[in-house]
Amino acid sequence: MSAARIVGAATAAALVLGVSACGSGSGSDAKASGGFTYWSMWRADEPQAKVIKAAIDDFTATTGAKVSVTWAGRDIAKKIGPAIAANQAPDLWDESDDKVYGTTAAAGQALDLSPVLQLPVPGEDVPVSHVIPAKYFDMLPKDPSGSNHYVIPYEVVTNAMFYNAADPAVAAAMPTPPTDWAGLLGVCDALKAAGKACIASEGEDPWTNGLFLDYLLNGAGVNVAELSADRSGAAWDNPAVLAAAQQVEQLVRGGHLIEGYDATKFPAQETNWTAGKAAFYMDGNYVTSEVARQVPAGWKMASILPPTAKTPDAGLFGFAIPKRARNAAAAQRFIAFFLQKKHLSGISTTALNITPRSDIPAPAELADVQKTLEAPSLRLSFDGVGGSWLPKVLNENYLDLWHGKSTAARFVATCRADQVTYWQTQG
């Protein structure tokens, strides 16, 4: 081992001290008892943690295997890399698919979990692959070994335009969901005439607002990841890209975004939306639990995708195993154990979220979302584009368009130019 590696390992060890202080890494204790170590993205007081904790207790009672858990919270994504470098990583951890990919799988540090798909789900006499649809893996980018089975999902999310189906103004403006962009603009016009804003938007957030462009590009057959990967920038010359930007511009220039959206901070407009000041709010489906206590009685949560979108996007929260994990087999057995219906149902009933199993009904307010996720194929939001491309190329230019400071044509031209510079500085 070179001196650099030793210093590197020492630095990494110092970085993971925070986590390893509360729970040891993949250590000998766990191995001796046939158990494993698990770092969770949830804090102990979160409902998901309670569901997983109950399953762990059952796992230990059934198999005798001891599980050493650290409820690390979201910082886990920053700690896992240094932990792996210092050989202090847990045997099992969980995060969203992009975090698992970005922090470990993209660097070839995540174990291929294909064998888990062949394990039987305890008590159900079917393999894991039978209960977790392949479409959730097909949408993921492949790791250097060509696998996209580096995360096994237990919770799935999607992004959509949420609204209150019980709002008479919305029901009058939208008797049936629009099927094309002009239809949506028509709904917006009708709402405007009725004195209600069409879309509530947290103006400072390029991500949720960018989902409109993302879905429009998807509808036009443009893959955002491919668009971003073009070093020459020529992909921006595709007329479909300009057309999608112009459609976004129609929302802005048409005055369909709630007043003052460009001068507030989250959650100001989410609050306005729950107060009925606007009809739609684009966000991940976690918004339903986020506003559960705010919405007035009689609110009926429903959702649609922006019209023309072909493939709904999805995000996963799931288990992953570092490649260097010492007790990987035990961790894999637990993944299969947790996916049995009696435990996974807790994600729906206790954590009020959607599971990847179609035989577990979603909470009532997410019924529409579960229907959306039944599509034959799914995609990642922004087609999984990662790295600094979003902040350095798209986000600020898009916010200028979204705030009405730029035009669709100028947006496309600046993105094209910024993308060329971006790739020149990526090495």
Partner 1 sequence: MATTIEDPLRTGAARGRSERAARAGVGPLERQRRRVFWPFAAPALLVYAVLFVAPVGYALWTSLHRWDGMGGMDWRGLQNYTLLFRDPRFRTSLFNTLELMVVGGTITFVLSFALTLVLREMRARLFARSVLFFPSLVNGMVFGIAAGFLFSPTGPVNRALELFGVTTPPKWLATDNLLPMVLGTLVWTATGYYTSIIMAAVDQIPDHLYEAAELDGAGPFQRFRHVTLPCAWDVIAVCAVLWTVSSVKIFELILLYGGSTNAYPPVSSWNTAVYVYTEAFPQGTVPRLGTATAAAIVSLAMVTLITVVLRRLLRREPIEY
Tell me if 200 sits within 8 A of 278, measured CB to CB.
Answer: yes
107-146 positions binding partner 1, by CB under 8 A? 107-109
Q: Which is nearer to partner 1, 63 or 395 (CB)?
A: 395
Q: Which of 78, 135, 142, 192 binds partner 1 (CB under 8 A)?
A: 78
Q: Which of 85, 198, 217, 336 binds partner 1 (CB under 8 A)?
A: 85
Lookup: tokens for 85: 């470098």
DSSP secondary structure, 285-315, as one string: TTHHHHTTTTSPTT--EEEEPPTT--S-B-E
* The one segment of 24-32, 184-192, 197-205, 249-257 that binds partner 1 by CB under 8 A: 197-205
Q: Which is nearer to partner 1, 67 or 160 (CB)?
A: 160
Lookup: tokens for 350: 């206790």
Q: Which of 40, 48, 70, 104 binds partner 1 (CB under 8 A)?
A: 104
Residue 207 contacts partner 1 per CB under 8 A: yes
Contacts of 3 (CB under 8 A, 6+ apart): none
Write the CA distances from 122 to 61, 131, 133, 341, 381, integer angstroms. Answer: 14, 12, 18, 9, 33
* The one segment of 82-90, 294-302, 329-337, 366-374 that binds partner 1 by CB under 8 A: 82-90
Tell me if 166 sits within 8 A of 276, measured CB to CB.
Answer: no
The residue among 148, 413, 165, 119 whose CA lies nearest residue 303 is: 165
**Is 322 in a helix, a strand, or coil?**
strand
216-275 positions binding partner 1, by CB under 8 A? 260, 262-266, 268
Q: How far is the CB of 362 from partner 1 (least distance, A)?
A: 23
- What's the N-to-C CA distance of the chain in angstroms? 27
Lookup: tokens for 340: 């049995």
* The one segment of 53-61, 174-182, 200-208, 295-303 that binds partner 1 by CB under 8 A: 200-208
Q: How far is the CB of 322 from partner 1 (least distance, A)?
A: 9
Site string for partner 1, 366-385 (x = CB under 8 A): ------------------xx
What is the CA 200 to chain-centroid distance, rounded?
A: 21
**Is 159 in a helix, a strand, or coil?**
strand
Q: Which is nearer to partner 1, 37 or 208 (CB)?
A: 208
Residue 64 contacts partner 1 per CB under 8 A: no
Binding site for partner 1 (CB under 8 A): 4, 7-8, 11-12, 77-78, 81-82, 84-85, 98-99, 101-104, 106-109, 202-208, 260, 262-266, 268, 384-388, 390-392, 395-396, 399-400, 403, 421, 424-427
